[in-house]
């Protein structure tokens, strides 16, 4: 089997889930998030674009319902022994086959939690699932159970995050070698992703973000490439990825001369990130971290140019996004605790002057101040 952790690690994760299930009086949970399946068993696939479900009973036993294309994938990459295949055919209803499986598992009338909040369960399949379950048992929304367990990283997971962060640094090093006037965005992307692959890393859960000129104000990937000009701005958001664990970084790199507005925005972004670091300590909440960012932005007169969130948890994630919960936004009561891997980004987009400035890196929380996982400093990069 192609497992990335010791079996004892997976056993400990299963036991943590069983404690949560007992606390919530659940006889079983139906997991649809690929992250949940990977975390619990090692199962590694993009087959969650189709209907599949990991059934976990209160006694810790597990059964995976999936398609034939993922049968060998599950056998090779996971700890799972019990794998059931539903058959692709005209008029197939895998939700009905799941209900029949649950009946075979003696769960009729049981209290069953369902992981609804995931890209692994489309609205269409969710409706079909509800149709089958409404008369089968007592249904509860169990969306946040495994995702919150994943928030706290084990020592073995921290090593994965550290490796991912080293790959993110390698990607930046590769980009900086070729960023200059006339450089092509496509070549920059190729260098960054190539460095990660060459270092043993993986595809990211979402596309790297790259944009120069006016496109530097975008914080999502878009199609289309351009070449850098003499005095240009290039926004990059990328992640080192190792065994699906992500360590994102973000920078706005300048070519040529630094404009007065760029310097102003950089000074604000640096001050905000340093304030966020001070707030990212036990005793504070995710909302407190956002407030630290917002206060600095307000002090610099940049409230209308900032975003309404300034980061989020990261870990082992799958398409379509490496963003995990919880996020740094106003009023989020989730406490900061040790052994979280958190990405903080200061994003300033001044549409009035078409000026961008972004600064971000991944941290490991501790008993006191967080530890940056990147070896790179926070200096303004000018090429």
| pLDDT tier at 254, thresholds 50, 70, 90 | very high
The domain segmentation of the chain, as residue ranges, is: 7-150, 152-382
- The shares of helix, strand and coil residues in the chain, as percent rounded to the nearest 5, are 40, 25, 40
Q: Where are the alpha helices (DSSP H) in the chain?
A: 7-23, 34-41, 71-77, 94-104, 123-133, 145-151, 155-176, 185-198, 260-279, 286-299
CATH of 152-382 given 3.40.50.2300, 2.40.30.110, 3.90.230.10, 1.10.230.10: 3.90.230.10
* Position 228 pLDDT exceeds 90: yes
Mean pLDDT of 18-45: 98
Mean residue pLDDT across the chain: 97
Which tokens go with 346? 């200061």
Q: In sequence order, which residues have a C-beta less than 8 Å from that of residue 232 and are 6 or more positions away?
A: 181, 212, 213, 254, 255, 256
Spatial separation of the C-alpha atoms in residues 373 and 370, rounded to whole Å: 9
Which pLDDT score is estimated for 184? 98
Structure confidence by residue, pLDDT tens digits, 101-128: 999 999 999 999 999 999 999 999 999 9
Which pLDDT score is estimated for 1? 65
7-150 and 152-382 in the same fold: no
CATH of 7-150 given 2.20.25.90, 3.90.1300.10, 1.20.1250.20, 3.40.350.10: 3.40.350.10
* Position 32 pLDDT exceeds 90: yes
């Amino acid at each position: 089997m192609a497992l990335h952790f010791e079996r004892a690690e997976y056993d400990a994760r299963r036991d943590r889930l069983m404690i949560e299930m007992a606390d919530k009086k659940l006889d079983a949970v139906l997991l649809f998030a690929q992250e949940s399946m990977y975390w619990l068993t090692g199962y590694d696939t993009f087959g969650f674009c189709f209907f599949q479900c990991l059934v976990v009973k209160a006694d810790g036993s597990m059964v995976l319902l999936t398609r034939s294309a993922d049968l060998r994938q599950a056998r090779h990459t996971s700890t799972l022994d019990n794998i059931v295949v539903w058959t692709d055919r005209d008029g197939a209803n895998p939700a009905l086959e799941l209900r029949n499986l649950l009946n075979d598992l003696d769960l009729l009338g049981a209290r069953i939690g369902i992981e609804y909040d995931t890209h692994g369960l489309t609205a269409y399949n969710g409706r079909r699932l509800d149709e089958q379950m409404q008369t089968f048992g007592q249904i509860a929304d169990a969306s946040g159970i495994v995702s919150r367990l994943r928030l706290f990283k084990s020592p073995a997971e921290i090593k994965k995050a550290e490796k991912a962060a080293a790959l993110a640094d390698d990607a930046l090093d590769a980009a900086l070698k070729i960023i200059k006037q006339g450089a092509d965005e496509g070549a920059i992307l190729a260098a960054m992703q190539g460095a990660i692959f060459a270092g043993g890393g993986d595809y990211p859960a979402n596309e790297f973000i790259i944009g120069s000129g006016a496109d530097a104000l975008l914080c999502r990937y878009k199609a289309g490439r351009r070449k850098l000009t003499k005095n240009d701005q290039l926004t990059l958001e990328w992640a080192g990825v190792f065994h699906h664990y992500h360590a994102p970084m973000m920078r706005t790199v300048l070519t040529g001369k630094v404009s007065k507005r760029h310097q102003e925005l950089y000074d604000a972004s640096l001050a905000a990130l340093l304030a966020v670091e001070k707030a990212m300590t036990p005793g504070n909440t995710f909302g407190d971290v956002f407030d630290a960012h917002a206060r600095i932005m307000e002090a610099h007169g940049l409230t209308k140019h900032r975003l309404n969130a300034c980061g989020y948890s990261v870990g082992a994630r799958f398409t379509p996004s490496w963003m995990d919960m919880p996020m740094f936004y106003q009023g989020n009561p989730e406490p900061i605790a040790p052994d979280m891997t958190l990405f903080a980004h200061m994003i300033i987009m001044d549409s009035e002057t078409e000026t961008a400035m972004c600064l971000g890196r991944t941290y490991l929380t501790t008993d006191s101040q967080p530890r940056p996982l990147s070896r790179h400093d926070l200096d303004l990069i000018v090429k």
